[in-house]
Structure 1
Amino acid sequence: MQATNRPNIILVFIDDMGWGDFSCFGNQDASTPHIDRLAKEGISFEQFYVNSPICSPSRVAISTGQYPQRWRISSYLGHRAQNKKRGMAQWLDPKAPMLARFLQNSGYATGHFGKWHMGGQRDVNDAPAISEYGFDQALTNFEGMGPKLLPLTLKPGQDKSKPGRLWHHAERLGKGYQWMQRSEITGGFVDAALSFIKQAKQDETPFYLNLWPDDVHSPFWPSVDQWGDGEKRTLYLAVLEEMDRQLGRLFQHVQNDPALSKNTIILACSDNGPDPGLGSPGPFRGYKTQLFEGGIRSSLVAWAPKLMKKDALGTINQDSIFSAIDLVPTLLNICNISPPDKITFDGESLPSVLLGQSKKSKNKMMFFRRPPDRDSFYGVKDLPDLAVRNGRWKLLCEYDGSSPLLYDLLTDREETKNLAKQKTDMVTELTQSVIAWHKSMPADNGPALVPKANQ
């Protein structure tokens, strides 16, 4: 079912947060009451995936509805020489099919507030402005071109008049920057988003906005009264809770406004899994950069109580398997907007799932390729290069299909029982499919960057 009026859309894309870090997804060490309220009034999805276990390609996928490898972005965008060594583009091509541009062309006000990381970072200072991707307004961090918020740092006992500075070289990445305490930057993005929303409402214009905080990415700089014992896990949890509080102002503004609350969709999830020992991957194996579930499965909370099926509100959808690339065609469908005929999404339109009218899953297989520079990481040598999810089955393997790992995620979501030797026909089918997909995408330098010890 499509919404009667074109809904407003708020996409909250958290940085490096684990599947189990929202308290509504089981975190008992920290509380996220504002996210929890969204879940209580909306729907939580347990089998939602992002399309890469690392930052930049994950952001490309959720912005375009296409696999990020199509745009030669398969790891985080770094220094110019790093990107070249990995066989990657320096930034996302502005010709990519951006959700924001489709909405902008259909009369939406569009804004991006927060981390960008799809071009313009480190020494890459000639990337396109965020406005070239379909955004009317933008405020970013040190990994984007244009106006930005840059972080001041303060430890307990430190002279408040002499704070530290992070990423000071980012002052050259476009005009307009403001220094503020790192612990308050999510709130700075929220302030900009609230101003944007109020203007759109005054103009009687539907809006789409990205609220993409730096949180909960390291380094961790909570407010000085939240440092506790100063251990990294303590700091991580403090940042998580402060992020929730700051995002809460945005959520409450929408929830308390009758016009906004009846016609706004809020989506909140993470761009990839957590670092070990910091965020929680929940019951899953693996972490950020890895193709195991902990690296690519993301806790998705969707809030649109006036648009969703009533008896779905407050429920947990444990069945629907879909991913970030499916959100773009799904949201366009809900907004009654058709993309140009020449655009083909890798994702599928699943409005009935997002609005709680169905628990079906996507029809297509989901494919994954590891970041080219992450064959060995976090102490794990020779990580799988490719992965595919098809219904209950997931296969991981090397580029050539060797060393297959086959898991039945219906009975073994922890990926502990390799069934490759018992299910040889399934291994053959999935291996052929994932290799064919891999070869259909532009190549990166993953094979050349395999450590010699793993060859």
Structure 2
Amino acid sequence: MSAALPALLAAAALAPFAPSDEPAPGPSDGVRRPNVVVVFIDDMGWADFSCFHDRDDVRPPIEPRPEEARTPNVDRLAAEGLRFGRFYVNSPICSPSRTALTTGQYPQRWRIGSYLARRQLNADRGIANWLDPAAPVLPRRLQEAGYRTGHFGKWHMGGQRDVGEAPLITQYGFDESLTNFEGLGPRVLPLLNAYDDSEPRPHALGSDTLGRGPIEWRNRDDVTAAFVSDALDFIDESQAANEPFYLNLWPDDVHTPLFPPAARRGDGSKGEKYRGVLKTMDAQLGLLFDRIRYDDALRENTLILVCSDNGPEPGAGSAGPLRGYKTMLYEGGIRSPLVVWGPGLVEPAAVGTFDDDSTFAAFDLVPSLLTVCGVELEEDPRFDGENLADVLLGRRDGSRSAPLFFRRPPDRDRFYGVADLPDLAVIDAPEGSADGPRWKLLCEYDGSQAELYDLAADPGETTNLAAENPAVTARLRDAVVAWHESLPQDKGETFGR
């Protein structure tokens, strides 16, 4: 199944992308190089944006969102851009999901299959302590092409807990960075302020003992605002230098612990606090969105993408009609909302639309964004992601040609009360009509306990069709087991036993 990938990538090595005939301000060589902003939210469900939640075609229907739970700033991006309903991340947990979005490859290639923690726990699970700096990373490719690059927010690909010797974020091709306790370099650490009579308490998970950069303490509900503030300064500096920019804005909201402002704590329940954090984050991100929207040059030459790194925790966010949560290979754990905005870049006819046909994943964004930015795709390294730049900009419907494969985090064989979670999953590449079956198979490492679902007819994964479709089951089972065995192994079969 992967044999055709080199040819596909070679065919995708296009000339610099030119989505508009009107030139935009750019570098002196005359090549149009759009700015790119990637907002990667932490632990947010597929239906948490009200522009995904409030859709007439969601089945079963979801109760309308109250005003205090709406996300008007992201919703406005969606109204002026487009939404994708079949966008996936490459893992149901943070570190591997971020690795795929950064490298364009399956995170297991770099031995990152679960969240990075203290070194002993990493070793026990058979995963690395940090992303190898030799990995092919999107920011470095863009930096080499003349982009200014900045990372503001959660990193979680090295430099956490007791791992203080990990590479700095700037060693991966970023000119500037500001992170939290899941990375090194300048960082903002949260104070958990319950807005009662208790003193705010620090939440650093050991980061305050590691050195390797200045530390600022802020209330938990103000940390995203700090990331946005530095990102705005970065944009101003890029404009002053007349240089295109690539910017990660990766808040650690809406991850627990949930400490929204006092006015948004509601009844103090987990769900109410979650919605308070979501609402606050949306307003804080709105400052960044408006800075770009109301600047003529930026508005016409900037692409903004907003998505989540994995599904929600139970009792917090919502995956809508989808089954499962964070850590699970069911749709609720791996399907993410994706909003794409760029008035000078997105196909005008696609503005305001919801694409519920195109199937692709976070690692496909790497070759796609390189193409949008006019960076030639090279044969080596070979991305697992595919170039879908035209799809991303709404110029056509389309999906990956190769299947999507998943391996569960090694420490998540049982979680949230489920005694035996599937180890592997594969989503077949759509064939023929978009109205035909869209097969997804889940199984154990050895291919046993197969579950087969038609996602087109049953996105909630309620009816196992494996027995009725033995040929499809065998084909997908063999493919996912072969993929699993071809990659570096973690200790998922033995961890915790």
The whole-number CA distance in structure 2 between the counterparts of 1:131 and 1:156 is 36
Deviations, residues 315-344 of structure 1 (Å, cap 9, x unaligned):
000100000010000000111102444210
Alignment of 1:198-217 (within 5 A): 198-217=236-255
Whole-angstrom distance in 1 between the partners of 2:353 and 2:465: 32
SS in 1 for 2:336: coil
> Aligned residue pairs: how many?
449
1:43 aligns with 2:82: yes
SS at match of 2:494: helix
Equivalent-residue separation in structure 1 for 2:216 and 2:245 (angstroms): 25
Query: What are structure 2's unaligned runs of at least 5 residues?
Result: 1-16, 21-31, 55-64, 431-437
Task: Identify the residue that residue 14 of structure 2 maps to in structure 1.
Answer: none
SS at structure 1 position matched to 2:191: strand
- Over 3 Å counting, the alpha-carbon distance change for 1:92 and 1:123 in structure 2 is same
- The letter for the 2-side match of 1:96 is A
Structure 2 counterpart of 1:352, from 390, 396, 416: 390
Name the CA distance, whole Å, in 2 between partners of 1:109 and 1:382.
46
In the aligned structure 1, how far is the partner of 2:50 from the partner of 2:364? 26
What's the counterpart of residue 436 of structure 1? 482
- Once the two structures are overlaid, the 10-residue window that deviates more, 25-34 or 80-89, is 25-34
Match of 1:15 among 25, 42, 51: 42
Instruction: Find the partner of 2:203 among 142, 149, 166.
Output: 166
Q: Quick one: distance in 1 between partners of 2:288 and 2:184?
A: 24
Deviation per CA, 1:349-377: give whole Å up to 9, x if none: 00110110111111010000000000000
- Per the normalisation by structure 2, the TM-score is 0.89
Q: Distance in 1 between matches of 2:363 and 2:475?
A: 23
1:116-265 matched pairs, under 5 angstroms: 116-158=155-197, 162-167=199-204, 169-173=206-210, 174-265=212-303
Question: Unmatched 5+ residue regions in structure 1?
Answer: none
8 Å Cα contact 2:160/2:206 also seen in 1? no
Q: In 2, distance between residues paired with 1:219 and 1:83?
A: 22
Cα separation, 1, equivalents of 2:479 and 2:422: 16
- Aligned residue for 2:491? 445
Contact 2:42–2:254 under 8 Å retained in 1: yes
Query: Are 1:388 and 2:434 an aligned pair?
Result: no
1:282 aligns with 2:328: no
What is the letter of the counterpart of residue 256 of structure 1? Y
Amino acid at match of 1:20: A
C-alpha distance in 2 between matches for 1:2 and 1:384: 43
Whether the 8 Å contact between 1:3 and 1:335 is mirrored in structure 2 is no
CA displacement at 1:139 relative to structure 2: 0.2
In structure 2, the CA distance between the partners of 1:399 and 1:317, relative to structure 1 (3 Å rule), is same
Q: Distance in 2 between matches of 1:339 and 1:131?
A: 23
Distance in 2 (CA, whole Å) between partners of 1:164 and 1:418 is 47
Question: Is 2:142 the counterpart of 1:96?
Answer: no
Cα deviation for residue 2 of structure 1 reads 3.6
Counterpart code for 1:19: W
Q: Deviations over 1:365-392 (max 9, x none)?
A: 0000000000000000110000000121
Asked if the contact 2:323/2:332 (under 8 Å) is kept, the reply is yes
Distance 1:176 1:83 in 2: 26
Is 1:115 matched up with 2:115?
A: no
DSSP 3-state at the match of 1:150: strand
Most deviating of 329-338 and 255-264? 329-338
Amino acid at match of 1:315: T
TM-superposed CA distance for 1:168, in Å, is 6.3
Give the match for residue 312 of structure 1.
350
The alpha carbon displacement at 1:3 in A equals 4.0
Give me the whole-angstrom Cα distance separating, in 2, the residues matched to 1:313 and 1:226.
32
AA of the residue aligned to 2:49: F
**C-alpha offsets along residues 405-425 of structure 1, whole Å, 9 cap, x if unaligned?**
000111011101111001000
Shift of the alpha carbon at 1:449? 2.0
Q: How far does residue 225 in structure 1 lie from its aligned partner after superposition? A: 2.1
Q: Which residue of 1 aligns with 2:304?
A: 266
**Aligned position for 1:408:** 454
Partners of 1:46 and 1:341 lie apart in 2 by 30
CA contact (8 A) 1:320 1:361 kept: yes
CA contact (8 A) 2:371 2:377 kept: no
> What residue identity is the alignment partner of 1:35?
V
Could you tell me how far 1:229 is from its partner in structure 2? 1.2
- Aligned residue for 2:151, secondary structure, equals strand
| Greater displacement, 168-177 / 137-146 | 168-177
1:418 aligns with 2:477: no
Distance (Å, rounded) in 1 between the aligned partners of 2:283 and 2:137: 30
Residue in 2 aligned with 1:68? 107
Alpha-carbon distance in structure 2 between the residues aligned to 1:2 and 1:382: 49
> Is residue 53 of structure 2 the alignment partner of residue 26 of structure 1?
yes
Deviations 1:92-140 (A, max 9, x none): 0001110000000000000000000000000111100001100000000
Q: Tell me the CA shift for residue 152 of structure 1.
A: 1.3
Judging changes above 3 Å, is the alpha-carbon distance between structure 1 residues 450 and 411 closer, same or farther for their aligned structure 2 residues?
farther
Q: Distance in 2 between matches of 1:156 and 1:143?
A: 25
- CA-to-partner distance for each residue in 1:149-185, whole Å, 9 max, x for gaps? 01112223336xx422111631233120101111011
Q: Provide the rounded CA distance (Å) in 1 between the counterparts of 2:177 and 2:117.
A: 21
- In structure 2, what is the Cα distance between the partners aligned to 1:356 and 1:78? 39
Following the alignment from structure 1 to structure 2, what is the Cα–Cα distance between the partners of residues 34 and 24? 10
Aligned-residue Cα RMSD (Å) equals 1.1
CA distance in 2, matches of 1:87, 1:3: 44
SS of residue matched to 1:111: strand
Aligned 8 A contact 1:156 1:227 in 2: no
Aligned-residue offset at 1:450? 6.0
Give the whole-Å Cα distance in 2 for the aligned partners of 1:266 and 1:409: 28
Maintained 8 Å contact 1:64/1:97: yes
Secondary structure, counterpart of 1:447 in structure 2: coil
